[in-house]
Amino acid sequence: MNDSPATVVICGASGYIGRYLRRHYEERDIQVKTIGRGTSSDATWSDHRSIVDVLDGADLVVNLAGRSVSCRYNKKNADEIMSSRIQTTAQLGRALADVNTAPELWVNASTGTIYRDSRDRPMDERSGELGSGFSVEVARAWERELFDADVAIRKVALRMSIVLGAGGGAINPIIDLARVGLGGTMGDGGQMFSWVHVADVAQVLDHLYDNRGISGPVNVATPFPVTNTELMHQVRNALGRSHGLPTPAWLLRFGARVIRTEAELVLKSRWVDPQVLTDSGFEFRYPRLDDALANIASETPRGLLPVALG
């Protein structure tokens, strides 16, 4: 790495990825400040002046704030998912306009779900086709709020795929199914599963900070996605399970209603290509799923636990 920020501001630091990033920076003696809803944060979303003070003079701001999408998309939840992303991004834009010394880089979370359901080809930042539906509307509004902010700061929208790492998280139901013998294919099994290890998310942020020519949307996903069939096969292997009963799409939709989530989270084919990263020389620490799962299993006393949904 050529350069390191002296001060990083993380919004949404209480989530899984936020906690990991905080450790990533603090272990290198980089000062971390936080913006959140609780009193333990250095600034709170309800206090504009405190946000300005925290941002002023920082080198990098990373906004991960947003309500979890692992829920039913009823009106109340949908409104909270949308507003939690749009409002915090808008607040950051207003605060950054008031600082005396602006950060070098503003990285805002987004999601690889912004692309259409794709089984025919990967979706990169230049030629990828955006999809439709609620999740895509959220992603588009989220990115629009970032790029429309009237501040002269380099901006990157992190179009994150599903993030894997040791700990709890949004796709643990997949692991739970495999543990009880239901670790077969989900739906027809042909949907693509794009993913990234949380350690590589941290390395991506370092890479973006170093490479000042990168701005705009950036896909954060390994170059080696797998089908759902292959995903479940590797999960079973990591758990030491030779077989798993398949879960048809109709049963997934029914089960999702019971546990108050959306079947889209496992049935949509996400095929995300990290062209900006690979073209700029980024090298993934965990490019292959088997290596990522082996690392996760070695760091988790209970075994394999994927986490966090982008």
pLDDT digits (tens, 9 = 90+) for 160-171: 999 988 875 445
Residue 119: pLDDT band (50, 70, 90) is very high
pLDDT, average across residues 72-94: 82
Specify the residue for token string 């390395």.
203
Highest averaged pLDDT of the listed ranges 2-6, 66-70, 175-179: 2-6
Q: Would you state the pLDDT for residue 56? A: 98
Contact 310, 160 (CB under 8 A): yes
Q: Would you state the pLDDT for residue 67? A: 66
Q: What is the mean pLDDT of the chain?
A: 87
Residue 77 or residue 26, greater confidence: 26
Q: Give percent above pLDDT 70 in the chain.
A: 87
Given a cut of 60, whether residue 286 has pLDDT beyond it is yes
Lowest average pLDDT, out of 17-21, 94-98, 245-249, 274-278, goes to 245-249
Q: Would you state the pLDDT for residue 181? A: 79
Given a cut of 80, whether residue 99 has pLDDT beyond it is yes
Strand, helix or coil at 94?
A: helix
pLDDT digits (tens, 9 = 90+) for 123-145: 999 999 999 988 899 999 999 99
Nearest by Cα to 162 from 23, 18, 270: 270
Nearest by Cα to 69 from 193, 162, 140, 179: 162
Strand, helix or coil at 144?
A: helix
pLDDT, average across residues 58-67: 91
Residue 221: pLDDT band (50, 70, 90) is very high
DSSP string, 47-107: -HHHHHHHHTT-SEEEE-----S-S---HHHHHHHHHHHHHHHHHHHHHHTT-SS--SEEE
Q: Would you state the pLDDT for residue 259? A: 47
Residue 82: pLDDT band (50, 70, 90) is confident
Q: How far apart are CA 162 and CA 270, in angstroms?
A: 9
pTM metric for this prediction = 0.89
Q: Would you state the pLDDT for residue 302? A: 54
Specify the residue for token string 């409104």.
79
pLDDT, average across residues 46-59: 97
Orientation of helix 228-239 relative to helix 289-299, angle to 10°: 30
Q: Would you state the pLDDT for residue 306? A: 42
User: Tokens for 137?
Assistant: 């509307």
Residue 305: pLDDT band (50, 70, 90) is very low
